[in-house]
Amino acid sequence: MKITALSLLFVVLLSSNAHAHLRFGGLLGYRANSATVDNTAVTTQASTTGYNAGGLFWWGFLDTVGLRTGLIYSTKDFDSSISAPGVTGTFKTKVTYLDIPVNVQVDFPFGLYVFGGLKYGLKSTSSVEANVTGTTISSDLASSNTVFNAGAGYNFLDLEIVRLGLEAEYELGNSNIGASSTVTKTKGLGVNIVASVGF
How far apart are alpha carbons 27 and 195 in whole angstroms? 7
Given a contact cutoff of 8 angstroms between Cβ atoms, the answer to whether 51 and 33 are in contact is no
**Four-residue CA torsion sign, 156, 48, 45, 100:** positive
Q: Check residue 18 and give its pLDDT.
A: 43
How far apart are alpha carbons 132 and 195 in whole angstroms? 44
Domains located in the chain, CATH noted: 19-198 (2.40.160)
pTM for this predicted structure: 0.82
How far apart are alpha carbons 190 and 119 in whole angstroms? 14
Q: Check residue 138 and give its pLDDT.
A: 58
How do residues 5-56 score in pLDDT, each as one tens digit? Answer: 445 444 444 444 445 589 999 999 999 998 887 766 666 666 789 999 999 9
Please identify every stretch of the chain with a pLDDT value under 70, giving residue numbers as ranges: 1-20, 39-46, 134-139, 179-182
